[in-house]
Structure 1
Amino acid sequence: MSGGDAAPGDGEGGPRPLRTDLRPVVEAVREADAAAFVAVGDRSDDDLRYLTRFSGPDRPYALVVAPSGGTTSDGDARDRAVLCAPALFCEQAEREFVAGARAPGGVAAADAEERFHDGVAREVRTEAVGGHAGERAAAVVEDLVDGAGAAAEGADPTVLAPASIPHDAAVYLERAGVDLASTDAVADARARKTPAEVDRLRRVQRAAVAGMARAEAVLAESEVDGGGSDSDRGGGEEAETDRRPPLRWKGEPLTTERLRREVNAVLAARGVRDAGNTVIGAGPSAADLHCVGDDPIRPGETVLLDVSPRGPDGYYGDVTRTFVVDGDGGWERRAYVAVEAARAAALDEIEPGVPAKTVHGEAAAELAAYGFDPNAGEGEAGFTHGTGHGVGVSLHEGPSLSGAGELRPGHAVTVEPGVYDPDIGGVRLEDLIVVTDDGYEILAEYPFGIVPEERSDADDV
């Protein structure tokens, strides 16, 4: 069920253009009998990034989407989307939000300015640049819904917004006579990826597995030190005296921070950012799901690497592997075999129409069969998290493999069972897959094996 190396849109013409279909938002407004939709945020707001494809400033700006039920001041009755951008970002906004959404080739030159791929006309407004983004959005709402039923009757217009809309923006909108109502339309749209979005995910996931290959090579090259000073063993603390000295690589003790730097250098060379998400734990810290500290890497202990970079279009990758150098085949081997089996059981369930919870349930049942607690709490020994989550312009988004709903084609999710013991370490194996019409595709495959190897084809991963 996994795909090959060729990615649609990866040819000489480059990746498919990213264009967000705003029709689901327009339809949500109509179904709610609302006047418009408003989103307010800055470039760190993933909903706004998704809706506009505008990688704007670090200060708030706004998007207003309104269906054609009303008439604007210029007499236009089309579905409209207006990006309220700071003046210094006008050209960028025109390029990314407006020009990027125009209909593809074949449109007559006279119509090129009016035709958009989803039929929703886009424009950028920079007037009143000194005002708060919420104020500017309210002014656009007033313009776009002028003449609509609610406004004509003197009632306050209802405007839909993501639940995450900033409080100050909500206050400005409400002071302007707008009633706000929350909508899940954006989250629902983000959950199902277009082919162009899958292209982006595939590209950044390839960079992530290249980083993993570098980490595995470093571990494979490392040497077991028969001696070691007290400082190598963590300052000679009594709790450390029975632990083996750290591995050595290029003549120096190998730590999680040294390994992280090697991974991040590969990510940078591949054109993606580590975004602070290169999580590496060793020994007991491998049981910490988000360890970004600096710990010695010792032989016989699990080394858990979770690499989640972000690409230039905002999409993430996510891959995890676990290795042990010079292990004794004890807890870590049993845990690895259990997690491999849980991963296989989870993947066997993935196809359109399957309840997401079924995937998690099968993984948990497999771990339980190997003697691990499938419902462990944080800090306890066993399986302490869900089997997977959606990935897109956020590292964690819908759908959740522990949540409600069914899997659908276009859902991009991780499959990442794991088991942990705070006193020993942790084992997790993770891949990023996309649900297809008849199953799933692993977006970038990477080999398995608890003993690290220096893979000769690492440059081609």
Structure 2
Amino acid sequence: MPPEDSAPDAGSDADALETDYSFLGRALRRRNAAAFVHVGDRFDDDMRYLTRFGGPDRPYAFVYCNGTATLCAPTLFDDQARREFPGDDVRVANQGDAAGRRAAAVLDDAGASGTVLVPQHVPHDAAVYLENAGFEVASTAAVADARAVKTDAELNRIRRVQRAAARGVARVEAVLYDAAVDGDELVWQGGPLSTERIRRQVNEVLAAHGVSDAGNTVVGAGASAADLHFTGVDAVRPRETVLVDVSPRGPDGYYGDMTRTFAVDPDGGWERRAYVAVEAAREAALAELEAGVAASTVHEEASAELAAYGFRVDDDAVGFTHSTGHGVGVSLHEAPALSGDDELEAGTVVTVEPGVYDPDEGGVRLEDLVVVTDDGYELLGEYPFGLVPRSRGD
């Protein structure tokens, strides 16, 4: 059954989001470095993870030195920074101070010298300020690596957003179930049904449950269902596949990700064969999930299952054209990729999303979010399967 359409639950103060900065201390010791610095704005997911601060769209700085985490808050945002930042110190900016210069000042006050670690995508001007202050700047992947393994509080955020995603999918199925076949088109509530009308229905449900669609709601039909990220307008017709990929973002910055595929009055041809194959590939992929397993093993098993059903794999246009999954957290796509060779760790959140596509036929994808455990996996949200839309009740 679909989740109950209850009050919004995408956010909660019951389990406060913290960031354990001990991973930065370990990175500094391994590299014999003095400090870690990052500069970014509210659109930088590493900064969101490090600071838990929903600041403005102008740069601010985070500094970790001598075991102390400092946020250099932007002007007029110091009160919000003190409420949200889980670190040790908030420093207030002077009007016009560059974030990189402020980070260098924090290091100077701490008596730091030598190497400063930064993410590879740190702004160039911030790196220049650090170098001009006498520091050697070196890149690190420590933040990306830390983000891959989720805490219980992070998992709870993702579960809540995934429940909202499932409600969005439920709305699509309800609309398709209620649509009437009128010749070569589907009619719903007095007018032809289109991908845009469905998208609006999904996004309305997401907003009602406290999450943002973030421009990520993908609805494709027929040929456009073979477009992995279709956000245009297309007619929804009987017998064609309708692919809906719902990837909302919650108020704390964490994403959900769920895909289902439907067809109204299918004729039992390509779309039925593809659906059965993708269901089997999904089960094969899930059977491989476990801490210590190479991520690529999951993709290889899904690919082998689809090939056994006669679908091409590793093709750019037809068949299985993408990885079986990717990490999800404060970014919709983050480490690890299920096409890589790194071993999966317990606490890693990934999508499992095999699919097959043919521009002449349509597209079928089934996607869920799971957290890897020591002995397998846990689904972070559920929604029933079935190619033909049905009434799921209230």
Q: TM-score range by the shorter chain?
A: over 0.9
Residue matched to 2:20: 21
Percent of counterpart pairs with the same letter?
67
Aligned twin of 1:59: 58
How far has the Cα of 1:222 moved from its partner?
A: 0.3
Name structure 2 gaps, 5 residues minimum: none
Q: Is the 8 A contact 2:40 2:61 kept in 1?
A: yes
Q: Alpha carbons of 1:273 and 1:367: their partners in 2 closer, same or farther (altered >3 Å)?
A: same
User: 1: distance between equivalents of 2:288 and 2:82?
Assistant: 44
Change (3 A) 1:416 1:21: same
Selected match of 2:83 from 86, 89, 95? 95
Give 1:273's aligned residue: 212
Match of 1:141 in 2: 107
- The match for 1:393 among 330, 333, 341 is 330
Aligned twin of 1:285? 224
* From 79, 88, 91, the counterpart of 1:125: 91
For residues 339 and 141 of structure 2, what CA distance do their matches in structure 1 show? 19
Cα deviation, residue 14, structure 1: 5.0
CA contact (8 A) 1:15 1:196 kept: no
Counterpart AA for 2:378: E
Asked if the contact 1:284/1:425 (under 8 Å) is kept, the reply is: yes
SS of the residue aligned with 1:25? helix
Distance 1:127 1:251, change over 3 A: closer
Q: Is the 8 A contact 1:352 1:409 kept in 2?
A: yes
Partner of 2:33: 34
Secondary structure class of the residue paired with 1:434: strand
Partner of 1:210: 167
Which region of structure 1 is more displaced relative to structure 2, 168-177 or 419-428? 168-177
Q: Which has the higher strand share?
A: 2
Q: Look up the equivalent residue of 1:63 and give its one-letter code.
A: F
Inter-partner Cα distance in structure 1 for 2:310 and 2:16: 48
Q: Scaled by the length of structure 2, what TM-score is found?
A: 0.95
Instruction: State the Cα deviation string for residues 23-78 of structure 1 (Å, max 9, x = none).
Output: 101221122111110010000000010011111111000000012xxxxxxxxxxx
Residue 151 of structure 2 is aligned to residue 194 of structure 1: yes
Match in the other structure for 1:70: none
Distance 2:125 2:222 in 1: 45
Following TM superposition, the consecutive aligned residue runs of length 4 or more in structure 1 with deviations greater than 4 angstroms are none
**More displaced stretch, 448-457 vs 170-179:** 170-179
Q: Any unmatched runs of 5+ in structure 1?
A: 68-78, 102-120, 152-156, 227-243
Give the Cα separation in 1 of the matches to 2:292 and 2:333: 22
Structure 2 counterparts to residues 242-253 of structure 1, below 5 A: 244=184, 246-253=185-192
Report the counterpart of residue 296 of structure 1 in structure 2. Answer: 235
* Candidates 271, 274, 285, aligned match of 1:346: 285
**Between Structure 1 and Structure 2, how many residues are aligned?**
386
Measure how far apart 1:122 and its partner are. Answer: 0.9
SS of 2:181's partner is coil
Q: Is the contact between residue 119 and residue 139 of structure 2 (CA under 8 Å) also seen in structure 1?
A: yes
8 Å Cα contact 1:260-1:278 kept in structure 2 = yes
Answer yes or no: is 1:323 the counterpart of 2:262: yes
**Aligned AA (1:179):** E
Aligned to 1:235: none
Q: 1:453 aligns to what SS in structure 2? A: coil
Task: Select the residue among 195, 204, 207 that pairs with 1:256.
Answer: 195
Separation in 1 of the partners of 2:167 and 2:37? 40
Within 2, Cα distance between the matches of 1:15 and 1:248?
44
Matches of 2:338 and 2:74, distance apart in 1: 39
Q: Which amino acid aligns with 2:19?
A: T
Does residue 403 of structure 1 match 2:391? no
Residues 59, 99 of structure 2: 8 Å contact kept? yes
